[in-house]
Structure 1
Amino acid sequence: MHYATLHYAQTATPGNPGAAVLAEECALAIAYNGLNQAVMMVTPQDLEEFVVGFSLSGGLIEQIDDLRDLRLHGSGNARHAEVQVSPRAFWAIKQQRRQLAGHSGCGLCGVEALQQALPQLAPLQPVALPPDSHFHGLRERIAEAQVLARDSGALHAAAFVDGSGAIALCREDIGRHNALDKLIGALALQRRQARDGFAVVTSRCSLELIHKAVRAGIGTLVSLSAPTSLTVEWARRHNLNLIHLPHRSAPRVYSPAPALPDHNG
């Protein structure tokens, strides 16, 4: 190997601003009423919105009013979120933890984990598909809205397009689930109706994103990458409009299912 041909990247510093800018990452520990729930690796922006969205999209709370207080502590690569929730929500959180603990001897742990991966979700009330005009230049508009990714790349985004077709919110994170959670938290904290627009994710459309969208009451989810057959199945089952926006062709609607041709006419 000719080592002289290798180029070593340097991280940007005040004395070396021309070096590569890297995306930030930190560990965020989340506790509910003093009970440790999770440690997430996140981009340290919009953390309050992330915790709210994580709580709603994960079914830990049913509505924003179940959240009584939220305090963030720490700095650098170690952060803490202390969340106070209603007694009803805290009881439900403890029930979830109890179901997933202590069953490894009889194999029930796998059953419970499968239920967590394929949860029972209430179907959405169907909403109309967005107008075609709302997709014009959408990829380019989202790229302009990604302020953090403009410097570092390596960040996913989740955006909310309002009823007028404008990008009203854009949240970014190293994790695609985190980006959507931040957006869900922002919608909840701003008391915006998710059904009045649609969400766009720049990442692969995994099944977990379908779960989060349905729990958050998002009627339409647009992905910049093609969905899998399972995500399409779940979107149709739960009345979630699922649309893929390819690079150079028209939007493709996967859910609702396309109407069958009428051969009787």
Structure 2
Amino acid sequence: MKQTEFLIESEATDSAITALKYEDGQLREVEDRVAEEVPVAMIYNGISHAVMLATPDDLADFALGFSLCEGILSSARDLYDMEIVHRVNGIELQMEIASENFLHLKERRRSMAGRTGCGLCGSESLDQAIRIPNRIQAHDIHFDAEAIYLAQRNMQTLQALQGRTGATHACAWVNPEGEVLMVREDVGRHNALDKLIGARARQQQQTAGFVLTSSRASYEMVQKAASADIPMLVAISAPTGLAIRMAQGCGVTLVGFARKQQHVVYSCPERLLHKELA
């Protein structure tokens, strides 16, 4: 048996473990549920391109969303087939893509043994490190700030894996009325957004709306939102400076610290409407 094989808990999203909990001056044995993360390899036309650590569910969404956000595919139509193959040391997402997309991928492909949340691993030069998407096309849509707070309350009840483990992020697609239409979860915030974008593309969902994320807003979160023409990204935590500048340049409304009837707007504030209190 390889050393890594014992680390993989099959294809479960979470598992039960026995642990010791110290509370109120006492130590006792408890059963806890923990989120699982598994190496997931993105394979295009037989060539491995990247390996991500991810929660092993909604993998078809993950494959498509990652491919779209990375610019490997231009649309869902470029993905001809996808097979999920479980190995003893991880999962392979074996994709068959259009020849034109594969040729383009081979031209820009770099040696990437793995990826992390930074989004820059595997780049060979500074010019390759930050990919700037085109400016989004959703110019005329507006949202009421109350939709953010309504969506926050609703999203928490839809985070099943987070409720069991307390260890995952979620990204939700929210309509202008604040209704949560779709949620995807993962141990990685970027993976959760990839899954959400992939799910919308697979279902050909055209509903207007914005993304609410349970995480901070990094550069890569904004880059993914802009690449999917998402007009507004709302995070419950802080954005980075690079994320703000990218949002400004791409025309994405970036909102941070959204919690308990308050938020901060960092870019394109005209898209978010606020009721003035008397």
TM-score between the two structures when normalised by the length of structure 2: 0.78
The corresponding residue for 2:21 is none
3-state secondary structure, aligned to 2:32: coil
Runs of 4+ in structure 1 deviating by more than 3 angstroms, as ranges, are 110-113
Q: How many residues align?
A: 236
CA drift at 1:89:
0.6
Q: Per the alignment, in what secondary structure is the counterpart of residue 52 of structure 2?
A: strand
Contact conserved, 1:157 with 1:202, CA < 8 A, in 2?
Answer: yes
Whether 1:229 and 2:235 are equivalent positions in the alignment is: no
Tell me the CA shift for residue 76 of structure 1: 6.6
Q: Measure how far apart 1:232 and its partner are.
A: 1.1
Match of 1:161 in 2: 174
Secondary structure (helix, strand or coil) at the match of 1:136 reads helix
Alignment correspondent of 1:200: 212
Correspondence for 2:17 among 11, 14, 17: 11
> Separation in 2 of the partners of 1:139 and 1:184?
19
1:1-265 correspondence runs (5 A): 11=17, 19-74=31-86, 78-97=90-109, 112-125=124-137, 126-193=139-206, 196-256=208-268
What amino acid is aligned across from residue 218 of structure 2 in structure 1? S
CA distance in 1, matches of 2:157, 2:129: 34
Unaligned runs of 5+ residues in structure 2 are 1-15, 19-29, 113-121, 271-278
Aligned-residue offset at 1:117:
2.5
Shift of 1:84: 0.6
Taking a change above 3 Å as real, the CA distance of residues 96 and 249 of structure 1, as seen in their structure-2 partners, is: same
Contact 1:26 1:76 in 2 (8 A): no
Q: Deviations over 1:206-244 (max 9, x none)?
A: 001111111111111111112122211110111111112
Q: Root-mean-square deviation (CA), in Å?
A: 2.4
Per the normalisation by structure 1, the TM-score is 0.82
Higher strand share: 2
Shift of 1:77: 5.3
Contact 2:151 2:179 in 1 (8 A): no
Contact 1:42–1:173 (Cα < 8 Å) also in 2: yes
